[in-house]
Structure 1
Amino acid sequence: MTSTDTTGQDTPRYVRLSIELIAEITDEGALKAAALQQVAEDAYLDDEERAQSVDAIEVDPSGSLAHFIDPVALLGDVPGVELASATWESVKTDFDPEGDEWDEYAVEESAE
């Protein structure tokens, strides 16, 4: 069976995509201001959600960044695909671009 074979024409096939991004915040004030503006202009947030969003932005810049993640935009123009579900979070992390644990191309050596 190849990836183009299906078990039935009307049977949806679900795929879980895992994406990890590391973003460097270079101007926390600009990010915070932009996130607050985005929350203020978001027509889909009710008052409670808006207040929670503002609180998250005030506490942590990673909360600001989360307001700019749009999974619909990632898949919006892909033909034959509909977004079924999406969750995401942004958290602070230690990052050392020279560290081995951050080398996405490194291949683990097998123990002999």
Structure 2
Amino acid sequence: MRLQAELVVQITDTGQLRSAALGRIAEEEHMPDDERTHARDAVQRDEAEALAYLVDPFDLVGEVPGVELVQASWSSAHTDYDPDAEEWELYEEDDER
């Protein structure tokens, strides 16, 4: 089964976000040193990268009874958000909820 979710978040404290991501990277025991260096650089350059290091799809379904996460992919990207724009409507009129 495929579960698709889309989130729009506002970064309210870039420093706090980057610090938390760097902490997560530092705690990762199995990350090779060259990958760790690359991850730190990416987080320092781009808060979208920092967010991607902190969001874990397993957290969404990890404790849901009868469900096992088989595969996950996710990304984070900058976007211009206008809540009044038609493209940001979550449901179409004909969609069943």
Pairwise TM-score range, normalised by the shorter structure: 0.7 to 0.9
For residues 76 and 37 of structure 2, the distance between their equivalents in structure 1, rounded to whole angstroms, comes to 18
For residues 10 and 46 of structure 2, the distance between their equivalents in structure 1, rounded to whole angstroms, comes to 14
Larger Rg: 1
For residues 32 and 81 of structure 2, the distance between their equivalents in structure 1, rounded to whole angstroms, comes to 35
Report which of the two has the higher share of helix: 2
Q: CA deviation at 1:61?
A: 0.4
Give the aligned partner of residue 34 of structure 2. 48
Stretches of structure 1 lacking an aligned partner (at least 5 in a row): 1-14
Give runs of ≥4 in structure 1 deviating > 3 Å.
none
Q: CA deviation at 1:106?
A: 4.3
- Is this contact kept in 2: 1:62–1:90, CA < 8 A? yes
Q: CA deviation at 1:93?
A: 0.7
For residues 95 and 44 of structure 1, the distance between their equivalents in structure 2, rounded to whole angstroms, comes to 36
- The CA RMSD measured in Å over matched residues stands at 1.4
Stretches of structure 2 lacking an aligned partner (at least 5 in a row): none
- Taking structure 1 as the reference length, the TM-score comes to 0.76
For residues 86 and 51 of structure 1, the distance between their equivalents in structure 2, rounded to whole angstroms, comes to 24
- Taking structure 2 as the reference length, the TM-score comes to 0.87
